[in-house]
Structure 1
Amino acid sequence: MTAKFRSTLLRMYLAVAALVACALPVSAQTASSYLIGPRDLVDIQVFQQPSLSAQARVQSDQSVFLPVIGNVTIGGMDEPSAARAIASALETGGVVRDAAVTVRVIEFASQRISVLGYVGSPGSYILDRPSTISDLLAKAGGATPDAGDKLVFTDRPVGAGKVERVELNIQDLLGGADASIDRPVSDGDTIFVPRAPVFYIYGEVRSPGTFRVEPGLTVEQALATAGGATELGKSNKIKRRDTQTGKLVSAELTDIVKGGDVFFLPQSLF
């Protein structure tokens, strides 16, 4: 085989590989910017060398074991960079001249993020592509009706030696008004959506129970949320449980309701 003919074949091989990549699902197409890590399964193809082509699991030391050349480090690289690293190892080891190699991640397992709290499907999710907080929130089914207005994002940058906790408004995040708050996520990060703050009200109200605390909610509005006072109750007699002493004290109708507040409307005969 002449060098010119071999060069032509190489170009054809790489062109076909590019066309195949375009035909792959979106998750596979976007994998080129995904950084390979331990436990990922990769498919390695060496042009005109079927005995050297293989599927291999990335080991804890970020390497894959390949016949003839042994371990090659590809962890922390994207697919094209991993292909170049393997091609270089084949050439340096004298196994193949002008090696043409393609690498494709076929099983993503190295990067996980937890989405917890009041979301549709809380749990651990594998990152198979570059993703943001809103991407993972959507993957987990979004916030439930009982969720609060904010979420807590815990960022654990690899090798940074520090953990950052950020509180974000969910509507601002999903609204897209400020794209900078929709931060990228990486392995080990956590998204937590807490329950919305609630208040409790019982006694002489028409619908006693637990209710969501909306921003700026007043005691008078809270009473209306519970259906208002019965014939035996009077709004201006409402009491709030003191969090320090546990005793019931008088509350003003203009007071602002806080999460965890407990209200009681006693009978009033006069």
Structure 2
Amino acid sequence: MAILQRLMLALAVTLFAGMALAQSEYRVRSGDTLAVEVLEDTSLNRSVVVLPDGRISFPFAGTIEVAGRTVGQIEAAITSGIAGNFAREPNVFVSVQPAERIATGPAAAMPTIKIYFMGEVNSPGLKEVEPGTTLLQALAQSGGLTRFAATKRVQMRRTDPRTGRQSVSVIDYRALSNGAALMNDFRVQDGDVILVPERRLFE
């Protein structure tokens, strides 16, 4: 029995080491979700999605280029960006959840578009939805809003692929949930980013 337990322990250690090595060598791509932890300030802990331009936004650090970088390089970049707010260099840990890539076989026949959720939603990151999905349907697929969401300031950000210009539509989700009519029930498009800000004090 003791031998079996040692073998199981050795197998678990080997698997964990392999996963850690794979994470350390993986190059982050757009659509991936990064879980960031700052030991010295847990209020900074969050999951962020890598946007189509390969960047993320992080408090105090601003916009950071992460696509093509390893976890270690991203940890160093975030540490450098937020270090000025701490008496000592903070300890930053990053783990990555790769986005689901294009499927093959019969399941690939169903067309989908990719949209991104950021901020105060229960399931941030890349989602693949059917063409024609409305904003409200997309929000439902994100798992809904958290209790910290600024429900009157939900943003849908859309970038014109031809000009690169970005448009921002602000939706009062609170009013909709109370029965208000949506004059323009937005249908999401490939590459749309739905951002739900954190509510302000007394908002």
TM-score scaled by structure 1? 0.33
CA radius of gyration, larger in: 1
